[in-house]
């Protein structure tokens, strides 16, 4: 496959940075990375323990609180012969950061991926990127559907963490005060939006951050019948992006903008500001996923925030959005110890602890749920017709991003024809 000049330059830059890191016994603090060393620095062979290096975007205490660091500490207590060196990489730099480490040979034992597309993006860097976990006893705890995205040719290469769903969160308190019921069809959804608009409430809080819009039109894709098989046909050329399944989904998203159901200045709003609109009672719904429920409820404890699926024209399909897959570098010197760490971090006990704080659903079987909102989300993601959130079925993170960015330009006013041509070109380029 021939690479474009820009892609060559990006790869060269990654390799140059990677080469500068090779041979380093430690890595200094940078803008995108800090290390939490659990043992003495250096490589003293007399130390009675081994060190596993865990790279993740989840280790930002502002996002994860103490949950992950507490789990790491508990693992070390239970496994006194193993120390964890935590390597935090910010979300915006994560894809490049992991590629630098993998291509540059930098020490890395365990790391996280946030989607099947990112899992595939890293896997495409070369043969045998991930350690084969097939047959590991701890895998028996997981729901079979949660393991599908990291199962290649019958072999399992990752362990899922808690599950979410995406679409719309809504102010349940406001809905009840206004006598509104959760819409079950697209027509009912439009009717609810009209009623909210008439009383001076913004129906849907939408923002301009590139990753937000996908949770609405991506959900509509599932309603229209898009799944992993449809995406394979798209990427093979059997289906074009002009397929009604795709066009209808993004046109419905554009419709809520054209009808004035989103903030007038949505193109200048950040996601945190969109959450403020719901917390302040200025907006009734917001485009996002169930992971945002806790932070919105913190804005105003008087409001009960709940989750709804984006209703479809003929059917509404639940989405499964697995937040993280934990994988092991195939080149780790300590495969058994790394497996032990993954088994612990993704265990039933830890997932249930995370589920309480994040209002998420464990990806393991026989989980216990007390929170009624989580129980509702669990009922959605475990339904027989639940499907993997559509953008995550795209084979590469880079292609997924190109599709999302093009759709965002369409929502901001670019013509449908230009948008479809742009996306088709991006899809076709992956086959060259």
- Asked whether 240 and 204 are in contact (CB, 8 A), the reply is no
Q: Which pTM does this prediction carry?
A: 0.81
- Asked whether 43 and 25 are in contact (CB, 8 A), the reply is yes
Please name every residue paired with 204 in a beta bridge, in sequence order, or none if there are none: 285
Q: CA angle 424-425-428, nearest 5°?
A: 85
Instruction: Looking at 259-396, list the stretches that DSSP marks H as alpha helix, in order from N- to C-terminal side.
Output: 271-279, 293-299, 335-345, 348-358, 372-381
Does the structure show a pLDDT above 50 at 300?
A: yes
Neighbouring residues of 15: CB distance < 8 A, sequence distance ≥ 6: 103, 104
- The residue behind tokens 């804005």 is 299
Nearest to 253 by CA among 207, 214, 281, 289: 214
Instruction: Looking at 88-167, list the stretches that DSSP marks H as alpha helix, in order from N- to C-terminal side.
Output: 91-104, 116-123, 144-147
Q: Using CA atoms, how far apart are residues 380 and 362, in angstroms rounded to an integer?
A: 13
Does the structure show a pLDDT above 90 at 368?
A: no
370-399 tens-digit pLDDT:
888 888 889 888 888 888 889 989 988 899
> How confident is the model at residue 92, as a pLDDT?
80
Domains, the chain, ordered by start = 5-161+323-378 (3.40.190.10), 166-317+396-429 (3.40.190.10)
Specify the higher pLDDT residue, 149 or 186: 186
How confident is residue 21, by pLDDT bands cut at 50, 70 and 90? very low
Q: Using CA atoms, how far apart are residues 128 and 150, in angstroms rounded to an integer?
A: 14
**Residue % of the chain over a pLDDT of 70:** 88
């Amino acid at each position: 496959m021939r690479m474009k000049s820009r892609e060559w330059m990006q790869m060269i830059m990654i390799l140059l940075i990677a080469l500068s890191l090779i041979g380093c016994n430690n890595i200094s603090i940078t803008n995108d990375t800090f290390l939490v060393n659990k043992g003495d620095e250096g490589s003293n062979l007399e130390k009675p323990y081994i060190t596993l290096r865990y790279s993740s975007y989840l280790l930002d205490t502002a996002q994860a609180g103490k949950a992950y660091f507490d789990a790491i500490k508990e693992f070390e207590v239970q496994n006194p012969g193993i120390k964890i060196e935590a390597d935090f990489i910010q979300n915006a730099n994560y894809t490049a950061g992991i590629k630098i480490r993998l291509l540059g040979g930098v020490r890395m034992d365990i790391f996280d991926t946030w989607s099947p597309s990112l899992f595939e993006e890293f896997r495409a860097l070369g043969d045998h990127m991930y350690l084969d976990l097939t047959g590991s006893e701890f895998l028996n705890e997981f729901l079979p559907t949660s393991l599908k995205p990291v199962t290649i040719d019958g072999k399992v290469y990752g362990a899922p963490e808690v599950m979410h769903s995406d679409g719309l969160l809504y102010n349940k308190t406001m809905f009840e005060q206004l006598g509104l019921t959760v819409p079950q069809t697209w027509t009912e959804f439009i009717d609810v939006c009209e009623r909210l608009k008439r009383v001076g409430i913004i129906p849907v809080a939408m923002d301009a951050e590139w990753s937000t819009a996908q949770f609405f039109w991506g959900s509509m894709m599932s309603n229209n019948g898009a799944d992993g098989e449809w995406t394979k046909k798209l990427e093979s050329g059997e289906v074009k992006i002009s397929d009604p399944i795709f066009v209808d989904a993004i046109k419905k998203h554009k419709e809520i903008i054209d009808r004035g159901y989103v903030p007038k200045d949505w193109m200048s709003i950040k996601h945190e500001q969109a959450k403020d609109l719901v917390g302040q009672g200025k907006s009734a719904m917001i485009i996002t996923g169930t992971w945002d429920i806790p932070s919105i409820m913190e804005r105003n404890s008087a409001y009960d925030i709940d989750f709804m699926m984006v209703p479809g024209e003929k059917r509404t399909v639940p989405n499964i959005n697995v937040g993280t897959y934990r994988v092991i570098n195939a080149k780790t010197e300590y495969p058994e110890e790394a497996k032990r760490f993954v088994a612990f971090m993704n265990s039933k006990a830890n997932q249930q602890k995370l589920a309480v704080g994040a209002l998420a659903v464990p990806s393991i079987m026989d989980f216990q749920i007390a929170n009624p909102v989580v129980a509702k989300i669990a009922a959605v993601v475990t339904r027989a017709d639940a499907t993997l959130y559509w953008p995550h079925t795209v084979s590469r993170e880079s292609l997924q991003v190109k599709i999302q960015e093009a759709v965002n330009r369409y929502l901001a006013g670019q013509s449908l024809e230009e948008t479809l041509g742009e996306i088709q070109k991006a899809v076709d380029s992956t086959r060259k």
